[in-house]
Structure 1
Amino acid sequence: MSYPFVVSVPHCAHRIPEEVRTRMALSPTQIMDAVDHGTTELFGALPAATVMSAKYSRLFCDLNRDPDDTGPKGIVAKTDYHGREIFKPGMYPDAQTLQRWLQIGYRPYHETLAKAVQRKDIIGLFDCHSLNGIGPADAPDAGKKRQDVILSNNGGPMGVQTPSFGQTSCPPVIMQIVKSAFEQFGFSVALNTPYKGGFITRHYGVQLLKKGGFAIQIEMNQDLYVDPQTGLCNSVLTDATASRIRSVFASIYRRFE
C-alpha cells in the first residue's frame, strides 16, 4: 500500500560540485547551515507513491525557487539566511554558467516531479522542510520562537486565500484536516507563519487543484530533534519524531481514503 501523495524533500542535501565549491566564501560548517536537517530521516521513508530527495545543496541550485528568480535569495542565492555572502567577490556565476548549473542541479528534479504529480492517482503534494527553532537574521520572523510545525498554502493564518498573495495551493478545509492530524499527535501548528510556501507548492498546486488535489509545504522545527550543542540530529529524538509523522500521515490518508 502507498498513499496517493508525492513527497518532495528539496533542501536535504549538502553536496556541492567542486567547480562551485571553489567559488564559495562559506566554510564547511556554514554550508551545513543551509541543510534542512532531519528531513530525509523524517519524511524519506513515508509510504507515499513517490518520494523525492535533492542530490545537491540549495546553495548550488535552490529547487524551491522559480527558475527565473535571480534575486539575492533566488535560484542561486547571493546571501544565506544568516546574511552571509555565499560567493567570493567576483565569483557569482554569469548567466551562461547559471544556466549550465540549472541543467545539472535543477531541471532533472523538476522534470521528475512534474511527471509524478501528473499521475492520475495522485491527490496531494507535500513539500517537506525543516527550520531553526528561532528565526535567523534574514528570516521574516528574526529572533522569534517558532511552532513545531508550519504548514503553508500561500494563504493567510487560517489557510484562506489572501488577495495580495494570489491563489492558494490547497483549499482551507484540507489545510485544517492536515493541521488537526499534526495536533492529534502532539505537535503545535502554525499556518503560513512565518512562511507562506515556496515555488514548488505554488507551481504544482495549480496543476493539482485542477483535478481536485492540493499542495502543502511542511516545515518541521529542528528543536524537536536536533542537539543544540552539536547541531546534529539526535537519533532517539529523530526516530521518535519520525514515528509521530508516520502516524500523522496515516491519519491524513484515512481522511481521504
Structure 2
Amino acid sequence: MTPFPVVLSIPHGGTAVPVELQGRVSLDRHGIHDDSDPFVREMYDLGGRVAEVISTDIARAFVDLNRAPDDLPPANPDGLVKTLTCVGQPIYTPGKELDARLIARLIDTYYTPYHARLERAVSKPGLALGIDCHSMLPVGPPIGPDTGQPRPMICVGNVRGRACPMGLAERFAACLCSAFCLEPHQVSLNQPFGGGYITRTYGGNPVPWLQVEMNRALYLDPPWFERRTLSMDPARLQELNAQFATAVADFFA
C-alpha cells in the first residue's frame, strides 16, 4: 500500500545513556524509565505505513529533543538538558554535573541531527500531517501544568489552532476515540498539553502538526506491566500500535 503522507516524531522513547555521560549519571534504570515516555516507539512506530518515522535511542533525561535550543539550566532544570527528572530526582552525581562544553557536545551530537531530520521531512512535497508522539502520567506531576489532576486517556494538542486547524485536530481526536474504543470525554484537545517545541516550531510551517499523548494507564499497569523488572507485555503494545494505525488510516479514509 502507499504510505500515508504523515511524519511521526518520537522524541522521548529512548532509554540509552549517551557515551559522553558515562560515570556521571546518578539515575538507575527505573529512574531513566520513569522520566521517559516508556515503550512509545513500539506503540507509535508505523514504519513502512507512513512517509517517515523519526526517533532516538537517547533518553529524554539526558537530551530532550522537544525543547528549544536555548532552553537550558539553570534557568530551567527541565530544559533541553536537565538537572532534575520530572519528579524532582537529581540526574547527575554531585560534582559531575555538565559544563558548557559538554552541553554543547550533546546538542551537536544528538539534538541538532534530530531537528535536521525533521526539517528535511517537512520539506518533502505531498506531506499532509506531522504527529509528535508521547505518553503522559495518569496524574499531573509536580512540574506539570496540571499538578495532581487526573488526565484523559488521550490528549491531542494543536497549540490551540496555531499548529493545525481545529477541524483537523477534532477529526483526528475523533478517529483516536473510535480506534481506542473510548468515550468522547476521555479524549481531550489541548488539555493538559497544547503542544511542545516540536509542534509549535514545525506546525503550520506549512505542514499541520499535532501532539498526541497517550495516558500510561493504557499500558503501564497490571496485567501488562511488571514494575520490578520493567517488563512489558508485547501483545499489549502491538494492540495499541494497531489501534493507532487504525486511527491514522481512518483519518485519511
- State if a TM-score over 0.5 links the two structures: yes
1:198 maps to 196
* Pairing 1:76–2:81 present: yes
Q: 1:230 aligns with which of 214, 226, 229?
A: 226
Does structure 2 conserve the Cα–Cα contact (< 8 Å) formed by 1:15 and 1:57?
yes
Alpha-carbon shift at residue 238 of structure 1 (Å) = 2.0
Task: Tell me the secondary structure at the aligned position of residue 207 of structure 1.
Answer: coil
* Letter aligned with residue 230 of structure 1: E
Instruction: Report if aligned partners of 1:125, 1:215 keep a CA contact under 8 Å in 2.
Output: yes
The answer as to 2:157 corresponding to 1:152 is yes
SS of 2:159's equivalent?
Answer: coil
Query: Secondary structure, in 3 states, of the residue corresponding to 1:33?
Result: helix
Deviations 1:196-221 (A, max 9, x none): 2111111111422xxxx300001111
Taking the TM superposition and a 5 Å limit, the aligned residue runs for 1:1-257 are 1-46=2-47, 47-70=49-72, 71-155=76-160, 160=161, 168-185=162-179, 186-187=181-182, 188-208=186-206, 213-228=207-222, 230-231=226-227, 232-254=231-253
Amino acid at match of 1:221: N
Give SS of 1:145's match.
coil
Counterpart of 1:83, as a letter, is: G
Cα distance, 1:94 vs structure 2? 1.9
Q: CA deviation at 1:38?
A: 2.3
Gaps of 5+ in 1: 161-167
Question: Cα offset for 1:234?
Answer: 2.5
Q: Aligned partners of 2:219, 2:30: CA distance in 1, in Å?
A: 19
4+ residue stretches of structure 1 with deviation over 3 A? Answer: none
Q: Distance in 1 between matches of 2:178 and 2:208?
A: 21
1:107-148 CA deviation, whole Å, 9 max, x = no partner? 111111110011111121000011222222322222322211
Give the secondary structure class of the aligned counterpart of 1:121.
coil
SS at match of 1:75: coil
| Separation (CA, whole Å) in 2 of partners of 1:134 and 1:91 | 32
* Counterparts of 1:45 and 1:172, CA distance in 2: 24
Would the aligned equivalents of 2:170 and 2:189 in 1 still touch at CA under 8 Å? no
Letter in 2 for 1:53: S
* Mapped contact 2:8–2:53 kept (Cα < 8 A): yes
Is the Cα–Cα contact under 8 Å of residues 128 and 217 in structure 1 kept in the other structure? yes
Letter in 2 for 1:250: A
| Alpha-carbon distance between aligned partners in 2 of 1:236 and 1:116, rounded to the nearest angstrom | 31
Which 10-residue stretch deviates more, 3-12 or 90-99? Answer: 90-99
Give the number of aligned pairs.
239
Alpha-carbon distance between aligned partners in 1 of 2:164 and 2:95, rounded to the nearest angstrom = 41
Report percent identity of matched pairs: 31
Contact conserved, 2:12 with 2:37, CA < 8 A, in 1?
yes
Shift in CA distance, 65/20, structure 1 to aligned 2, threshold 3 Å: same
Instruction: Give the aligned residue type for 2:163.
Output: S
Checking the alignment, whether the CA contact within 8 Å between 1:9 and 1:129 is kept in structure 2 is yes
Q: How many angstroms apart in 1 are the aligned matches of 2:143 and 2:5?
A: 36
Unpaired segments ≥5 residues, structure 2 = none
Match for residue 165 of structure 1? none
| CA–CA distance in structure 1, aligned partners of residues 211 and 113 of structure 2 | 21
What is the rounded CA distance, in whole Å, between the counterparts of 1:94 and 1:236 in structure 2?
A: 43
- What's the CA shift for 1:90? 3.5
Q: Could you tell me how far apart the structure 2 residues matched to 1:5 and 1:200 are?
A: 15
Name the amino acid aligned to 2:119. A
TM-score normalised over the length of structure 1: 0.87
Q: Indicate if the aligned counterparts of 2:203 and 2:209 stay in contact, CA closer than 8 A.
A: yes
Give the SS at the match of 1:106.
helix
In the superposition, the TM-score normalised over structure 2's length comes to: 0.89
Amino acid paired to 2:234? S
